[in-house]
Amino acid sequence: MSSGKSLLRLDGVHAYYGAAHILHGMNLEVKEGERVALIGRNGVGKTTVVNTILGLATLKAGSIRLGDYALTQPRTYLAAQHGIAVVPQGRRIVANLTVEENLQLGAATMGSGRKGHWTVPEIYKLFPILQERAHTPGTALSGGQQQMLAVGRALMANPALILLDEPTEGLAPVIVDQLGVIFNQVAAQGTALLLIEQNMTLVMRVAERYCAMAKGAIVAKGRVHEESLDELHKHVMV
Ligand SMILES: Nc1ncnc2c1ncn2[C@@H]1O[C@H](COP(=O)(O)OP(=O)(O)OP(=O)(O)O)[C@@H](O)[C@H]1O
């Protein structure tokens, strides 16, 4: 376990959509530079963890800390201000902006003015195809390229931690492999990753430890090593 600074910590979190009680005492911590996978079957509440941090699901009990900051009233901009960027499920590329404008939006809407390694030229080094298509509308890209854009946009905020919500969903295996390489490069730059993922091969390649959810809480956790695949699969098989 990393002895670094805590970037994100949930303790006993209960969260709701309206009257629907989704997170039931959720605990989770990601420290500086860590690569953590959050796994579990469809519908167990993985996206709701992200939505609760962003204020899109209602936090009713428990606590969330973003670094040293106690997040009592979650809001999207507060996560960004405290160094957490999100690559949302479904990518959410802005339709009437070009690739480059989408990237610039990442720096602007994260709002914290954080400086760091990631600039438009650095994103283009990571994803040369985005430079080739810089002036194309973001939504005219292929699914894999849109996911690269969503990752690039999140990096533009120079986050300490990036939350990746099923980034490889619906993508061809060759693109999944490319993204795996990229996530490792991003982590090597010092950015911590929380990877929500159904592809356990990718989890094996990227994560150093995993947390498995069922029914809105953590039911297992451990280190990822060469023998982990069967154990990981148990938590995602239907
Ligand atoms: N806006 C909403 N209103 C009410 N219930 C919702 C809403 N969004 C999700 N849910 C329900 O909350 C539960 C958890 O959903 P969530 O999206 O967090 O699961 P998940 O583990 O991320 O699954 P998936 O892999 O399918 O994205 C599911 O039962 C889902 O139907």
Tens of pLDDT along 178-237? 999 999 999 999 999 999 999 999 999 999 999 999 999 999 999 998 888 888 999 988
**Nearest-angstrom CA–CA distance, 54 and 181:** 27
Point out the residues of the chain with pLDDT beneath 70. 1-3, 109-114, 238
Q: Which domains does the chain have, with CATH numbers?
A: 35-57+80-234 (3.40.50.300)
Q: Whose CA is nearest to atom 18 of ligand 1?
A: 45
pLDDT of residue 111: 53
For position 62, what pLDDT does the model report?
Answer: 97
Q: 114-117 — which CB contacts under 8 Å span 24+ positions?
A: 114/83, 114/157, 114/158, 114/159, 115/158, 116/158, 117/158, 117/189
Predicted local distance difference test score (pLDDT) of residue 201? 92
pLDDT, position 105: 83
Ligand 1: which of 16, 28, 46 to mutate, most ligand atoms within 8 Å of CB? 46
CA distance 125 to 1: 31
Name all residues whose Cβ lies below 6 A of ligand 1: 17, 20, 22, 40, 42-48
Ligand 1 centre distance from Cα of residue 46 (Å) = 8
